[in-house]
Every structure is written in structure tokens, then in C-alpha cells.
Structure 1
Amino acid sequence: MKKPLIACLSAVLALQAAAQTDDAALIAKAHRIAHVIKMDTHNDIDPANFTATCNYTQRLTTQVNLPKMIEGGMDVSFMIVYVEQGPLTPAGYDDAYKQAIAKFEAIHRLTEQIAPDKFGLALTPKDVVALHKQAKKAVVIGVENGYPIGTDVARVKEFYDRGARYLSMAHNGASQLADSNTGETEGYLYNNGLSAEGREVVAEMNRLGMMVDLSHPAKGANLEAIRLSKAPVIASHSGVRALANVPRNMDDEQLLALKKSGGVIQINGVNSFLKPTSMERFAALKKLHAEFAPYMPKESSSAVRACPVEGVDGRVGRKGGGAPGHELPGMEDLPADKRALAEQRIAELNAKYPPTPRATVKDFVDEIDYAVKKIGVDHVGIASDFDGGGGIEGWDSAAEAFNVTLELVRRGYNEKQIAKLWGGNLLRVWGEDEKVARKLEKRAR
């Protein structure tokens, strides 16, 4: 009986050795591909982290900053001018505009004053390539939510002149331009579509060469935008609804329409869009957030928090989206008594509605695989939504980007395909949008 047992053990050890050899080969292959331009098309920012004394040259607790980009080999960050949806009133538009300008100015401060030797603002695809050759990190500006435009379509050009190269028509909640994905549960303002102003904005973006972003608006609004746009469109940070049935993800009809436009979907590394929580848990978390939101410091309020440098006073890097069972954005900034109460409420919620296990890099690449099979590798890209809710197990900051490349290699993608996914496709679409703008300009003469 000993010989068969020894034989079995030998076979197991041989398989383990073979697996380790395969892993080593895959890792080596992934490292050889590391030179491709790696672009993340959605990173949220806080202007408080763009000052002379507190900025992205430091290893902050933010998921994106220069040390983490260097560690993960990330080359390009689309930094986002995001303003939460508010009232559709003159006062609301005015406040939203001021918030947007503060973020534009913060990004320019980083690239022009704080660290121009390390970061450069890219206004064209050629700029991205040039900055990469200079060993600088490229920064591109995207606008998430057209709300700050207000009722003045001329602000689209103002934002373009300030560096914006894509704009989404809405966020969570209908804007003055378009219905939102939240309309599926909250109702629509424009019959699941664009407003008259929204249609003007699409035309203006085409005229300027600004990419139309489909992430966040309602399905009907997206399909209308695709029909109206004379240039390819993008989804800067979206998921696949066939694998995760949430309104923020795109169904097959939208994916096929996006492909027909020549566009690209940047698959989103957000836990809740890869492994959705139950509707009951989601509703309970939303209610909990509303309860504690008044006690959370306002974004960019440097008076209420010190510069969030990792390792200072025990600070650690942000965990994207919160660990399962602990999803309350901003809870770390609550006053001590409110934080203790919030943790108690979360424990009670976990007992009633158990959390879903956290998504992994494998889950993320499953969505890439699905999109590639459905619409082709030329129409798929990568986004994280870091510092805005993004982050999964294995890709929780820019420092872990290699894990995505490794999983793509493991799935059989070659270097050319990986280069397309990590940024090549987005650069192509951006360039095509510029060509359309030039053609429209010639016709207008």
C-alpha cells in the first residue's frame, strides 16, 4: 500500500511544481508587457489634496497618487471634475459651477505649479504619448455630470478650454441635460432620455472634439446620445449588466449600440457593480448614509482633516468601496461618538442583511471577457473609479495595477490586445472625435 501512496504524493508534488512554473512564466510575461501605456479613465479627486503642502507627490491614503502610480506602472490618470447632483435652480447651478472650477484649478495647480516635472496635462492623444516618452505621468480631465453647465451651453466650450476631454450628461439623479440611471427606481424627468439642452450639448461636444460619456445617464438617454452623436462615444466607467444586474451597468443593447458608434466601454472596478448587494441591503445602507451624512465633513474642507499621508498617526490606504459589511463612505471622517454609533448600526445591518463577498480581479476580468466576446477587443477598456468608490480585492489602488495585467495574460490576451485594453482603444476614440470636430469645422466655414 505504501507504493501507491508515494506515487500519489509524487504526482501531487509534480502538479504543484508545474503550476508554480506556469505562474512564474505568466508573471514574467506580464512584466514584459509592462511597457504598454496604462490608462485609468476615472479617478476622483479632492482639491484639498492639491496644495503646496498636501499633494499627489506624497504617498497619501488616496488610491491614486504619484508613488502608487509608479509602483503599479500606471501612466495616465483621468482626474475627474465631479459635482454631486443638486437642485435644478439658478442657485444650484451657481454652486455646482463653483465646485467644478475648484477642481479644474486644482488639477492645473498640480501640473503647472506643484509638480510640472512629474505630471503633465494632456489635451490630445499625442500629448499622452509625448508625456509617456518624457517619463511623466499624463493627467487628462473628465467631467462627471453636466450639472455645472447650468443652462449655459457655452460653458461646454469653457470646460473644454480648461482641459476637459469628456463629459457625462448626468450622475445619480436627473440633471438639466439627461435622465439618470437612478430613474429606474426614482422616475424620469425626460421620458428616459435627453432634454432639449442635453441634445444641444451633444452637438457642442461633437463640434469641439469632446468625448460624449455614457456612464451614469439612463439607458434611453444613452441610446439617444449615441443616435445624435456624429463621433464615437465612450462609457468612462461602466459595467456589464448581463453579469451584474444593476442600473449603472450597460445591457447588451447599449453595448452593441456603443460598438456601432465606434466607441469603447471602460469596464469599472467597483465592487458593487461586479458583485451587487441585495436590494434590501442597498436600501438599508442608503438610509444609514443619509442618517450620518450631516456629520461627515464636506469635501475639500482642509480645516477638518490633516493631509492624509499614509503612515502618519497610523493612517493606512483607503479601501475601495469599503470592505464587505463596512460600506459607509466617509465613515472614517466621522466624529468619534458618531463613528462608534455608525459601526454599531452597521453590525446590526450585517446581521439582518449579510454582505456579499468582495469582488476580485478575476471577477473584474470576467466582465472584460464578456464585453470582448460581445463587442470585440477594440471596444473595451479599463477604469477603476478610484477615490470615488472603486477598488476590489487585488486592485485596490494604482499600486496594484500589475495584477490586472497578470490576469489578462492568464486569460490568454496577447500584448497587442492588452495595449488596446489598457488605453489604446480610448486613445483611438479620442483621436477619432478630434477628426470629427475638424470635419465639422470645415463644413461650418
Structure 2
Amino acid sequence: MRLTLFAFGLLTLATAAPAQDLDAARRLARQAVIVDTHIDAPGALRKRWADLGEEQPDREFDYAKARRGGLDVAFMSIYTSAAQDADGSAWQVAHQMLDSVEALAQRHPDRFALLTSPKDVERLRQGGRVLLAMGMENGAPLGDDIANVQRFYDRGVRYITLAHSAANRLADSSYAAEKPWNGLSPFGKQVVAEMNRLGMMVDVSHLADASAWEAIRLSTVPVIASHSAFRHFTPGFERNISDEIAKAVAARGGVVQVPFGTAFINPDSAADMQAHFRARQAFDQRNAALKAQGKPLEDREAFEKAWANAHPVRASTLAQVLDQIDYGVKLLGIDHIGLGSDFDGVDGELPAQLRTVADYPNLVASLQARGHSDADIRKILGGNLLRAWAQIEAGAGK
């Protein structure tokens, strides 16, 4: 036991940044504009309300942590599931989440402000406010009505991830074995055109490859991948972006935003996630068949428990996040990489040094240690996303 603890102590000393380096990283984090394009705080609020204007020990995003980490722009994920799409509740759930974000800003106008344009960042962040932008993860709340794109835009939504864990009315999912559209649906093509007209960012994260390719081809302005790691590190995991699609995103002026979640950056965990989605889909199909036959259904809770027991949670490291960023910079150039953490959305399965939004300085210090200039780090932290967003906004209606 003594030997183990001693070895652990040496490891901790070897991996921790020197105090003076971390101080420099904190200064840069405060001075730079940090933009994180994927934080699942609204989903956590819907499960259990908490006043994120105050410190909340069980949340990865709140005002106090954001200020310690230097976060300026937090894209709140308006996430709806395939199940909510199927039962018709996605529209209502999305509006409930939008209400929760608006409530935070209304309760704490000195701490939060709603952000709908990159032109307003400098003005609104004065006084130490954290700016809440909104991205819709899964186009399910649009239903079949193209006018809903405008309605959600009017409520502040500035990107839409066209699909999530299953094919929907717009596009195919990377997780599902079935790809009914082999690209975008006719309605999905209309949605991309309408988003272009409004200046709303088209997000290709989660999409099957053929759907991502068609979205990139049809968009008249850059597209983004709001939280996509590189498939290079997780072969066969379609959820992560391929080199070819990433290069197409960059060639149009877009950005790939790197997530921190273990399931995206650890290849074994990524394989588990892909297998879990396929197993869950097979489970649902079996239950649908049993229901049609009037037979008792299999127990979902027992299925999930058995899966968890057979697939223990794996670990990931800050170095794996850095490897993703370095690979992206080498592949795409420094102007096309950013951050989309997935905080509050991965059940705490994160690197030890990137547990909450207070921890961006750890990432900054490590990027500095790997030789990135402060100017380039500013681009990664948020400059690239703001540049692409401004370009998309400027192309509205053209």
C-alpha cells in the first residue's frame, strides 16, 4: 500500500502543472474569450432545478465555476431524445428547457445574459457576466413544420444538431444501424436552407456520414461540429468525425469543437457506447415485437443494469483531450478547432483535470506546455467559433 501511494504521489507531481504555469494559464483564461459550444445544464435543470447563479456542488456548470475557469460563452444544449421524438413531447421539452435558461438570466441579470449574436459578446460580458447562448441538440422539436425553425430562432436558438441517437425527420444518426435517408430527408434539406436564411449554424455532430456530407454540400455558409472528437483515435466509431468530413467542414470555413467526455476520447469507451446504442435499439425492437404479440415485455431497468455490470466505466486523461486538439490543428489548421465539452451531459465521465467549467485553465496550461502560442490558444478557446458564427450570420439570406 505504501508503495502504491508513493507511486501515485510521484504521478501526481509529474502531471500537475507548476504553480507559476497555472497562474499564467489562469490569466490567459480570464483575458481570452472562452466559448464552449455544448453544455447540458438545461437537461440537468429539467431533472432537478438548481439555481446556477450560485455554486452547486453536483453540477459541472454554474456561475461561480464559470468565473473561476474564465468561461465567457456557454452554449446551453436544448437536448431532446429519440423517445421524446417518438412520443410527441420533444417540442414541449425543448420549450421547457428554453424557459429554464431564460429564467437563469432573469433571476441574475448581473451574472448571466442571453447571447444571440457574436457581435454582442464584448458588450454583454462586461461586468463578469457569463453569456448563455443556445443550441438545439436533435431537430426533433421542429416536427414537420418548417416555420418552427424561425420560431426557435426567435427564442434564441443559434444552432441545430440535425439528428441525435436515431434517425429523425431530417437526417440519419451515426449511432443507428438503419440509415433510412442515406443523407438528408427532403424536409432536412428545407431545414438547412431555412437555417442558412436565418443565419443559424448547421451542426453535423451525431450525424451519419452521408447526412453530414449532404449538409455540408447544401449549406451556403460554414457548418460546425459542436462536439465531435476525431475518429482517427476511435476507428469504427461513426459518432466521431472522420478526417475527410472534418476537412470538408474546415474547407468551408467551419470549426470542429472537441469534447471532453471519456466515451468520445477513449477508444474502448467509444466502442462500448456504440455497442450500447445498438443493443438498446435491439432491445426496443424485441419489445415492440412482444407488444404486437400481446406478450410480456422485457424489463428495461434490468437490461440497463446488466449492461452496466458487463461494461464498467473507463477512465480518460487530459492528455487524450490534448491529443485530439493537436491532431485537429495538424489536420485542419489552427483556425478550425474549438471546444465543445459536453459538461453535465456525460454522467461525470471526464478526465480528472477537466471535471467542471472551472478547469479550463488546466487545459490552457497544458496547451502552453505543448508549445501552442497564446495567440493560437485564444483561437482554440473561442476565437475560431466566434469567427465562423459571424461569417454564418453575415451570410443570412444571401
Bigger drift between 204-213 and 94-103 goes to 94-103
What 5-or-longer segments of structure 1 have no aligned partner? Answer: 1-18, 294-337, 441-445
Decide whether the 8 Å contact of 2:134 with 2:157 is kept in 1.
yes
Separation of aligned partners in 1, 2:36 and 2:211: 25
Which residue in 2 is equivalent to 1:45? 41
Task: For 2:75, give the aligned amino acid.
Answer: F
Separation of aligned partners in 2, 1:347 and 1:182: 18
Give yes or no for the alignment of 1:194 onto 2:184.
Answer: yes
Partner of residue 364 from structure 1, selected from 306, 318, 321: 321
Whichever of the two has the greater Rg, that structure is: 1
What is the Cα deviation at residue 25 of structure 1? 4.9
Decide whether the 8 Å contact of 1:49 with 1:56 is kept in 2.
no
Give yes or no for the alignment of 1:164 onto 2:157.
Answer: yes
Give yes or no for the alignment of 1:243 onto 2:233.
Answer: yes
Which residue in 1 is equivalent to 2:53? 57
Task: For 2:39, give the aligned amino acid.
Answer: N
Alpha-carbon spacing, 1:38–1:288, altered in 2? closer, same or farther (3 Å): same
SS of residue matched to 2:232: coil
What is the Cα deviation at residue 76 of structure 1? 1.6
Which residue in 2 is equivalent to 1:427? 386
Decide whether the 8 Å contact of 2:78 with 2:137 is kept in 1.
yes
Which residue in 2 is equivalent to 1:399? 358
Deviations 1:17-54 (A, max 9, x none): xx999945533432331210111110113467389983
Aligned residues: 365
Separation of aligned partners in 2, 1:243 and 1:284: 17
Partner of residue 383 from structure 1, selected from 330, 340, 350: 340
Task: For 1:43, give the aligned amino acid.
Answer: I
What is the Cα deviation at residue 108 of structure 1? 1.0
Alpha-carbon spacing, 1:128–1:343, altered in 2? closer, same or farther (3 Å): same
Decide whether the 8 Å contact of 1:277 with 1:355 is kept in 2.
no
Alpha-carbon spacing, 1:344–1:251, altered in 2? closer, same or farther (3 Å): closer
- 1:112-131 to 2 correspondences below 5 Å: 112=106, 114-131=107-124
What 5-or-longer segments of structure 2 have no aligned partner? Answer: 1-13, 285-299
Decide whether the 8 Å contact of 2:26 with 2:69 is kept in 1.
no
Partner of residue 132 from structure 1, selected from 109, 115, 125: 125
Which residue in 2 is equivalent to 1:373? 330
- 1:203-352 to 2 correspondences below 5 Å: 203-245=193-235, 246-277=237-268, 281-282=272-273, 349=310
Which residue in 1 is equivalent to 2:294? none
Deviations 1:393-432 (A, max 9, x none): 2101112121111111111111111111011110011100
Task: For 1:422, give the aligned amino acid.
Answer: L
Give yes or no for the alignment of 1:142 onto 2:99.
Answer: no
Separation of aligned partners in 2, 1:204 and 1:154: 9
Decide whether the 8 Å contact of 2:234 with 2:270 is kept in 1.
no
**TM-score, normalised to structure 1's length?**
0.75
Decide whether the 8 Å contact of 1:47 with 1:102 is kept in 2.
no
What is the Cα deviation at residue 345 of structure 1? 5.1
Separation of aligned partners in 2, 1:280 and 1:231: 33
Aligned Cα RMSD in Å? 3.1
Which residue in 2 is equivalent to 1:174? 167
What is the Cα deviation at residue 227 of structure 1? 0.6
Task: For 2:341, give the aligned amino acid.
Answer: S
Deviations 1:292-313 (A, max 9, x none): 99xxxxxxxxxxxxxxxxxxxx
Separation of aligned partners in 1, 2:174 and 2:308: 30
Alpha-carbon spacing, 1:247–1:164, altered in 2? closer, same or farther (3 Å): same
Which residue in 2 is equivalent to 1:98? 92
Deviations 1:248-267 (A, max 9, x none): 11111101100111000001
What is the Cα deviation at residue 131 of structure 1? 1.9
Separation of aligned partners in 2, 1:234 and 1:197: 20
SS of residue matched to 1:175: coil
- Percent of residue pairs identical: 38
What is the Cα deviation at residue 279 of structure 1? 7.9
